[in-house]
């Protein structure tokens, strides 16, 4: 057996094993020697040898002990858990898995909105009581959807909104870049967007600028029949302000895949609000996760072999 070119670290991602990842990679790189670390000692040995490693995390000490590591392919879209300075000091490029979540998270958003529009939660409650009783519903067509964050996930959401005949507003750091929405505004104009919003979708990263972005003022600005979907990070929303807004009927409902704190304590008041649906950071789950991640890495392996120094999804 030749020396491995790629090491897959042991961490399990979204319930999928490293062996699943290896299968997806080998189908794309059949001539490549790919090793899966089964134990911590195997992981250390592989990191001393291979030019390419992939997984969720490497500590600064592990990076320093990997003198031959030219590329680390993180299997998460976010890299806030990594010490990027350590990789840079080691001369190791880092890529992320941005884009792999687009289809599944966009489906979560569309499903949450349509469930609210057509009153499915009310239907489910009545079904539990064997109760046949008509209830009012809304139409999605003609409404205004504001998507905060126009990265790969935000763009996937906007693409899937197109057939519904809605108006879209995008909010992003760099509005001059434009985007797929009907309007693109900067964060300094978000209050203007909120005042015209029927459905608010949060798809932005958690940064100093976005922490607590949706606060008491935002909930006062949104129309009282607005509905919010948060698939960003819990900290983008001021949780106390959200609870107060829901209890005062200042917005009509919310679908939360992320919360602050997370996990949400079982005695938290959000659990008891009928117009709030909560999922346990589950929107990103998909059986195709490693297939999409493998596609990104396979592209970058070819670039590496050709001597290129710029990679798809490169962050360092």
Catalytic site residue from 101, 172, 233, 250: 233
Catalytic site residue from 26, 196, 281, 292: 281
**Whether residue 281 lies in the annotated active site:** yes
CA nearest neighbour of 281 among 252, 267, 261: 261
**Whether residue 139 lies in the annotated active site:** no
* Cα–Cα dist 227/117, whole Å: 9
* Cα–Cα dist 293/100, whole Å: 6
**Whether residue 81 lies in the annotated active site:** no
67: Cβ contacts below 8 Å, ≥ 6 apart: 48, 90
* Cα–Cα dist 236/264, whole Å: 15
- Judge residue 3's burial from the number of C-beta atoms within 10 Å of its C-beta, 0-12 exposed, 13-18 middle, 19 or more buried: exposed
Q: What is the 3-state secondary structure (H, E, C) of 13-49?
A: ECCECHHHHHHHHHHHCCCCCEEECCCHHHHHHHHHH
Residue 194 has which token pair?
């909120």
Q: What is the dihedral of CA 53, 301, 69, 59, to 10 degrees?
A: -40
* Cα–Cα dist 81/195, whole Å: 35
* DSSP structure string for 47-59: HHH-SEEEES---
The answer to whether the Cα torsion of 86, 88, 90, 92 is positive or negative is positive
Catalytic site residue from 262, 291, 295, 312: 262
- Catalytic (active-site) positions: 233, 262, 281
């Amino acid at each position: 057996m030749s020396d491995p070119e790629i090491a897959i670290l042991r961490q399990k991602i979204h319930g999928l094993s490293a062996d699943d990842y290896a299968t997806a990679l080998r189908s794309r790189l059949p001539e490549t020697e790919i090793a899966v670390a089964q134990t911590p000692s195997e992981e250390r040995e592989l990191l001393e040898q291979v030019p390419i490693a992939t997984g969720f995390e490497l500590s600064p000490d592990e990076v320093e002990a990997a003198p031959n590591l030219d590329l680390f392919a993180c299997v998460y879209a976010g890299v806030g858990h990594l010490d990027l300075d350590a990789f840079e000091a080691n001369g190791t490029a880092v890529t992320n898995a941005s884009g792999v979540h687009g289809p599944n998270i966009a489906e979560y958003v569309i499903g949450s909105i349509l469930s609210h529009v057509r009153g499915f939660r009310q239907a489910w409650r009545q079904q539990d009581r064997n109760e046949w009783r008509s209830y009012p519903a809304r139409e999605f067509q003609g409404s205004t959807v504001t998507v905060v964050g126009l990265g790969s996930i935000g763009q996937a959401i906007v693409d899937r909104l197109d057939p519904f005949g809605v108006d879209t507003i995008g909010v992003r750091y760099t509005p001059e870049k434009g985007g797929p929405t009907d309007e693109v505004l900067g964060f300094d104009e978000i209050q203007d967007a909120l005042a015209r919003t029927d459905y608010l979708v949060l798809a932005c990263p958690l940064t100093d600028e976005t922490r607590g972005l949706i606060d008491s003022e935002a909930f006062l600005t949104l129309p009282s029949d607005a509905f919010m979907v948060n698939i960003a990070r819990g900290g983008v929303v001021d949780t106390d302000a959200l609870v107060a807004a829901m209890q005062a009927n200042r917005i009509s409902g919310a679908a939360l895949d992320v919360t602050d704190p997370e996990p949400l304590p079982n005695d938290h008041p959000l659990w008891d609000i009928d117009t709030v649906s909560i999922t346990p950071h589950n929107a990103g789950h998909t059986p195709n996760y490693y297939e999409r991640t493998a596609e990104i890495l396979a592209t970058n392996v070819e670039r590496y072999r050709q001597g290129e120094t710029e990679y798809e999804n490169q962050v360092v």
